[in-house]
Structure 1
Amino acid sequence: MLSALALQSGLGPLASPVGILAVLVLLAAIILIGRFLLSMAWRLVVIGIIVVGTLYILGLLGFGLGVF
Structure 2
Amino acid sequence: MVLTPLLLVILQAGGLLATPLGQLLAVIVGIAIVVLVGRVVLKVAWRLVTIAAIVVGALLLLSFFGINVI
- Give TM class, smaller chain: 0.5 to 0.7
Question: Are residues 14 and 55 of structure 1, via their aligned partners in 2, closer, same or farther at CA, if it must alter by over 3 Å?
Answer: farther
Question: Are residues 34 and 21 of structure 1, via their aligned partners in 2, closer, same or farther at CA, if it must alter by over 3 Å?
Answer: same
Aligned counterpart, 1:56: 60
TM-score normalised per structure 1: 0.67
Matched residues, number: 53
TM-score normalised per structure 2: 0.66
Runs of 4+ residues deviating >2 angstroms: none
| 2:64 corresponds to 1:26 | no
RMSD, aligned CA: 1.5
By how many angstroms is 1:14 displaced? 5.9
Percent identity, aligned pairs only, is: 42
- Structure 2: stretches of 5+ with no match in the other structure: 1-17
The whole-number CA distance in structure 1 between the counterparts of 2:52 and 2:37 is 23
Question: Are residues 46 and 14 of structure 1, via their aligned partners in 2, closer, same or farther at CA, if it must alter by over 3 Å?
Answer: farther
